[in-house]
A and B are shown apart, each in its own frame.
Chain A
Amino acid sequence: MKKNSGNNAANNASRNMSKDKCQNKDKNQNKQIFLIIIVIAIVLAILAPFLASSNPDGLDATLLRLVGGGDEEVVDEMVAENNALDYNAPISGYSIDGMGKAGEVGSILGGTLLILGLTFGLSRIMKKKCNCRK
């Protein structure tokens, strides 16, 4: 099942061409777009603890009205009751005790870099074997 493989000739041609050239030029351009996205991600991660709204998100707000009657504790309790697995995340709620905003910045930034490394590593392992790899 290859839903996405190039369904027009132009696309196939450009793919094959880039493979033939062993992607040296593509790699540089890729690096650029890679870096731009990473920089945006890092900026977002640093700003998020200061700019992000502390209002409940759409789902929490819905639960708050329909279940908690406006009381967050009721919702929290209900969630805890239904949680079959008693699991405590190491950095719960994106904050580190006693570190305030710095802890939040650190945990979101750390998470961003972790997911970057994790995805990069996993996808390198999973990816198809490229013809032009030495």
Chain B
Amino acid sequence: MWQCAIYWVIAVVFISGSIRWARNDLDEMKVPLLAALAAGIFAIQAMNIPIVAGASGHVVGAVMAAIILGSVWAGVLLLTLVLVVQGVLFGDGGITVMGANIFNMGIISCFVGFYTYKALKNKLGQFKASFIGGWTGLFISSLAVAVELFIAGTIPLKEGLMLMGGFHVIIGVGEGLITAFVVRAIASSRPDIMNPTEEAVA
């Protein structure tokens, strides 16, 4: 499927960006944190929570990782590693569509969520900005999935957007809350890890 190939190409471009980030910015202090967050994100993605209408959702953690490590690239890198292990070892997500999964959960989610957070942090404080960042990252990427499935000819656009959007409006609340609480916990215990701003102590 040529569409899968396109997502893979985009994914590879961004993965190389995240490797460049690691080369330039990843220091001794951040290595254990990156590894611990990857493990935490893998585990938390297994925890499906029932939402509405017989559906469930789980936290993705992309925006959380990006905010804590202070770079959108950190989120892309972590989500890529988690998705590779899920797909290769556990058959969760498959190999052909992994490019698309990395594109959605890694790239779109991280970029939208992290820059939403950055834009709002000074106005709303870190806690609220993290919540909105987490929510927005998840919600927008769910809409992107609906559009991609439409392009692939799998689902009709309008119903797809409504259903995906509807479920993820609610799942996003969980994503946002976890993002906000984890960010606050780490920011208050280790302000030096997260590139802090003076007024960010929410």
| Residues 6-34 of chain A, each 1 if its beta carbon lies under 8 Å from chain B, else 0 | 11101100100010000100110111011
Q: Verify A59–B29 contact, CB threshold 8 A.
A: no
Q: Verify B55–A56 contact, CB threshold 8 A.
A: yes
- Beyond contacts A37-B39, A93-B90: 7 other A-B pairs, Cβ-Cβ < 8 A, are A8-B198, A41-B40, A42-B43, A44-B44, A89-B89, A127-B22, A128-B27
- CA A79 – CA B21 in complex, angstroms? 35
* Total number of residue pairs linking A and B with CB closer than 8 Å: 240
| Residues 26-39 of chain B, each 1 if its beta carbon lies under 8 Å from chain A, else 0 | 11111111111111
Known contacts A2-B24, A89-B89, A122-B81, A23 near B29 by CB under 8 Å:
yes
**A128 surroundings in chain B (CB, below 8 A):** 22-27
Which residues from chain B sit less than 8 Å from chain A, CB to CB?
1, 4, 19-40, 42-44, 46-51, 53-58, 70-73, 78, 81-82, 85-92, 94-96, 142, 145-146, 149, 154-156, 159-160, 163-164, 167-168, 171, 186, 189-190, 192-193, 195-198
* Nearest B residue to A47, CB-CB: B47
Which residues from chain A sit less than 8 Å from chain B, CB to CB?
1-8, 10-11, 14, 18, 23, 26-27, 29-31, 33-34, 37-38, 40-42, 44-45, 47-49, 51-63, 65-67, 78-79, 82-85, 87-94, 107-108, 111-120, 122-124, 126-128, 130, 132-133
- CA A110 – CA B97 in complex, angstroms? 24
- CA A51 – CA B146 in complex, angstroms? 28
The secondary structure that dominates the A interface is: helix
Q: Give the shortest distance, in Å, between B74 (CB) and chain A (any CB).
A: 8
Q: Verify A30–B94 contact, CB threshold 8 A.
A: no
- CA A125 – CA B91 in complex, angstroms? 27
